[in-house]
Structure 1
Amino acid sequence: MNRRDFLKGLGLSTLSLLAAPSVWANTLSTLAGNRRIVILIELKGGNDGLNTLIPYTHPNYYSARPTIAIERSSILTLSAHLGLNPALEALMPIWNEGELAWVQGIGYETGNRSHFEAIEIWDTAQAEARGLHDGWIAQSFPEHSLAGIALDTNLGPLYGQNVSALSISEPSNFASSGSRIHALKSDSTNPSLQHILNVQSQIEMLASTLADYLKDLPAAKESFGAGNFGQSLNSAYTLIASGLNVPAYKITLGSFDTHTDHRSRHKLLLQSLAQGLASMRNNLKRIGMWDEVIIMTYSEFGRRLKENANKGIDHGAASVQLVMGGKVKGGLYGEYPSLTDLDERGDLVYTTDFRDIYSVIRNNWWNLGEKLTGQLALI
C-alpha cells in the first residue's frame, strides 16, 4: 500500500509533509486574537459576475440578456450603478456594516476558458501553470507545519511538493478514526514499511490531539445550510472554534457552469453562498473570532456578456469576487469592465489582476511582505 492510498483509507487525501510531534503541538494551540485565517470559497465552474454584481443602469446588460437579466426592481442597490442579485440578500447586513468588499473586473491577460487549466492558473498564480508550480498558499508558507486544510477532495492552492496540508471531510470523524490507530513497532529495515509506520504514528498523534481540542466546543447557533457546502462550512467553523492555528481553509461550492437554465440555477447557488457566509460570520462573532477571519471567493473564469440559445451563459473571462471579514474595509474596489469594449471573443476585458488580491492577503493580512496601500488595500 502506498502512502496516498494509506491516507485515503483514513479519510485524508494528502498529508504532504509529516511534521515532528512538537511542531504539530504548536499548530494545535489556541491563539485566539492572534490568528490570521483565510477561508477560500471556490465557486466551481465559473461564476457569472454580471448576474452577481449587476450593472443595472447599463442598457447593454439588458439587451445582451433578454431572458436571464435580473429585473431592476428586485436588485439590491449598492451604488448609483451597481447592485446585488436578490439571491444574495443575506449578505446585505454585512455590506451595510462595512465588512464586505466586492472586487470588480478580476481576471488576467488572455483568459483561459478551460475549466482545468483556468483553475490551475488561479491556484498557482501562474498564467502558464501546466502542473509545474505549487499553489499560491503553499508558496506563501513553505515551512509551515500545517499550511491549510481543504474541506473537500482537492487541495488546490494548498498543494505543494514540500508543504504540509490536509484534505478531510469532517473533523470529528478524522479525530475519532485517527485516534484508533495504534502505531506499530517493527525492526524491519524496509524503508517503505518504516514510512507507513511513521505515517501511522503521526496520524495517531494528530488525531488524538485534535480530539482533545474538539471537546466542549461552542456549537454553531445558526445553520450553515444543507448539502456538502453547509457541511464544509460547519467543519471550518468547528476547526476555527477549536483554536487550531492554520492559515487557510478551502471549501468548494458548485456547479456554476450554467450553460443552460442559468437564472434559476444561479439563484439557488447564490442563495446557498449568501446563507452559508452570513451564518459563518454570525457564528464566529458570537465566539469573538470574526476579526481573525477573512473569506474570499474565487472562480476559474466569468461568463460571457450575451446569453446563449439555451437561456444560459457560456465561458467568459473577467468576473467579480467578494472579500469579507471583521477587519475588511468594505466597499467597491477596482473598475467594472466595459460592456461595450469587449475582446475579440466577445468577453469582458479584465481591469484587476487576480494576483493583486493574493498580494493584499499575503502582505496586509498575513504580514509576509511590506504592507500595500492603494486602490486594493481592502485589508
Structure 2
Amino acid sequence: MDQTCCPEYAAISRRGFLTGAAALVGTTTVFGSTLLTVSPAAAATTGPTLVVLSLRGAADGLSLVVPHGDPVYYAARPRIAVPAAQLVAKDGYFGLHPDLSPLLPLWQSGKLAAVHATGLPTPNRSHFAAMEEVEDADPGSAARVGWLNRLLGEVPGTSPLQGFSVGGGVAPTSLVGPEDYLSAGSVDDLEIAGADQWDEAGGRLRSLHTLWDGASSVLSPAMRATFQATSQFEAVKATPATPANGADYGSSDLGKALRTAARVVKGEVGTQVITLDHGDWDMHTDLGTLEWGRMQRLAKELGTSLAAFFTDLGERGDQVTVVVLSEFGRRVQENANRGLDHGYGNVMLLLGAGVAGGRYHGRWPGLTNELDSDVLVTTDYRSVLAEVVSTRFGVSTASVFPQFQPEALGVMRAV
C-alpha cells in the first residue's frame, strides 16, 4: 500500500484480519493455495449471479460521482475538485469522474446507475470495524455470518462452488457462515496438493478416496465435497483464459480479478455470488487531480476493468449484477495534503442485469463546508442491497438482513 497513513488500515491485510473469521466457519479444507469451506454438496445449478466489488480503504464517492450542482463541493476542494466541464454522464447535478468513461456504454444502455449518500446507519470511521459491520449487515448480532452467506442459504442450489471469492485464500466477512464457498486467487489455483503432473498414476487421489469415501468422520462430507468441487471446476479450467469479444482488462490487479470472475461465470458451474476487492482507496494524501495522483489511477482501473468484464461476458452479462461499495466515504473538505480524511456517506454503483440505469438515485442531503463536514447518509446501504437481492433472487430480505425494514428505492427492475 503506497502512502497509506492510517496505521489501523496499513496493519490489515485481507489474509490477516479475515483468517480468524474463516477458521470459525464449519469445516475447512485447504489444498494448494485454495481454501474451501464445504458441506455435503448436490449438483450445480445456474441462475442469476451477483458480483460484489469492495473498494477497500474508503473510496471518496464525491470524486467518483461528482455533485457539480452543489457549489459547496468546489468551495471545499479548491485544489482537487473534478472540473464540471470534464465530467461524463452529466445531468443537472451529478456526473461521473472522466476516468470512468469506459462505462459510458453501460450508462447509455441503462445498465449503470449510482446511488449517492448511502452508508451505515451511524458513522463508523474505523476501517476494520466498518468493513465488518457492512459485511455482517446484522447490527447487534453475535453470529459470525455475513449477508452473502445468508443469501446463499436462501437461493436454490448447494454446490460447493455457489459462492466464490477471488482472492488470496480467504474470503471477506460477507461470505463467512455455514453455507459453502470457495476462495482462490485464480482458476488455475484450484487443485488438490500432490495430484499433479508428477502423479501420473493418480495415486494421490486414489489414496484420498480410500481414506475418506467410506469414513464416518465429520470431515468425510467435506472431503467428498472437495472432490466434487475440483471435478466441477474442471469446466471452468476448460473455459478459454483469453477474454472474449476483444475485452481488454489492462494489467491491474482488479483487471486480473475480474478476468477470473468472468471465467467462473462462463464456466457455468453454479456460482451465484462472487466477491472481489480493489484498493487501496485510503487517500489521506495526494488524492490528486485529473493529471496526477491516486484517484485518477484507481478510477481508471475501475472503469477499464468493469467495462472489460461486461464485454468479456457478452450475452452472459444479462444474468450478472455488479454492486460496487466501500466501507465509508471521505470528508467534504480537502486537507492540507491534497487528500481527504475519514468521512461517512458514500456512493454505490450498480451495473448489469436488472439495474434501473442511466440515472442517479438517492436523496441528496446537500454539503456543508466545515472542517469536519460529512456527506450525510440518507439511504441505508442495506436498502440498496435488499432491492438487488429481492429483484434478482426473489428471496426474503428479512432472512438476508435480519431486523431491517428496507426502503423502496426503485434502483432495480424486473428482468
Residue 336 of structure 1 deviates from its aligned partner by 2.2
Query: Cα deviation per residue 1:135-194 (whole Å; 9 max; x = unaligned)?
Result: 11111222752441110144225433311111111112314758645115349x998xx5
| Cα 1:359–1:62 shift into 2, 3 Å | same
Q: How does 1:1-379 map to 2 (within 5 A)?
A: 7-15=29-37, 17-20=38-41, 23=42, 26-27=43-44, 31=46, 35-128=47-140, 132-142=143-153, 145=158, 146=160, 147-153=162-168, 154-175=170-191, 180=196, 181-182=204-205, 183-186=208-211, 194=217, 199-217=222-240, 219-221=242-244, 222-263=247-288, 264-285=293-314, 288-330=315-357, 331-340=359-368, 345-369=372-396, 374-379=408-413
Is the 1:106–1:321 Cα contact (8 Å) retained in structure 2?
yes
Query: Which residue identity lines up with residue 296 of structure 2 in the other structure?
Result: K
Is the 2:40–2:224 Cα contact (8 Å) retained in structure 1?
no
SS at match of 2:210: coil
Query: Cα deviation per residue 1:40-94 (whole Å; 9 max; x = unaligned)?
Result: 1000000101111111132211111111111222122421111111111111111
Give the share of equivalent positions with the same residue, in percent. 25
SS at match of 1:251: strand
**Partners of 1:367 and 1:179 in 2: CA distance:** 40
Is the 1:7–1:13 Cα contact (8 Å) retained in structure 2?
yes
> TM-score, normalization: structure 1?
0.86
| Cα 1:171–1:216 shift into 2, 3 Å | closer
Query: Which residue identity lines up with residue 136 of structure 1 in the other structure?
Result: W
SS at match of 1:349: coil
**Partners of 2:276 and 2:173 in 1: CA distance:** 11
Is the 1:41–1:252 Cα contact (8 Å) retained in structure 2?
yes
Is the 1:39–1:296 Cα contact (8 Å) retained in structure 2?
yes
SS at match of 2:63: coil
> TM-score, normalization: structure 2?
0.79
Query: Which residue identity lines up with residue 134 of structure 2 in the other structure?
Result: W
Is the 1:150–1:158 Cα contact (8 Å) retained in structure 2?
no
Residue 115 of structure 1 deviates from its aligned partner by 0.3
**Partners of 2:30 and 2:241 in 1: CA distance:** 29
Is the 1:176–1:211 Cα contact (8 Å) retained in structure 2?
no
SS at match of 2:321: strand
Is the 2:388–2:412 Cα contact (8 Å) retained in structure 1?
no
User: Which stretches in structure 1 are left out of the alignment for 5+ residues?
Assistant: none
**Partners of 2:369 and 2:76 in 1: CA distance:** 14
Query: Cα deviation per residue 1:222-254 (whole Å; 9 max; x = unaligned)?
Result: 122213212211111111001122221000000
Aligned residues: 360
Query: Cα deviation per residue 1:98-139 (whole Å; 9 max; x = unaligned)?
Result: 11010111013321000011011110113446x634111111
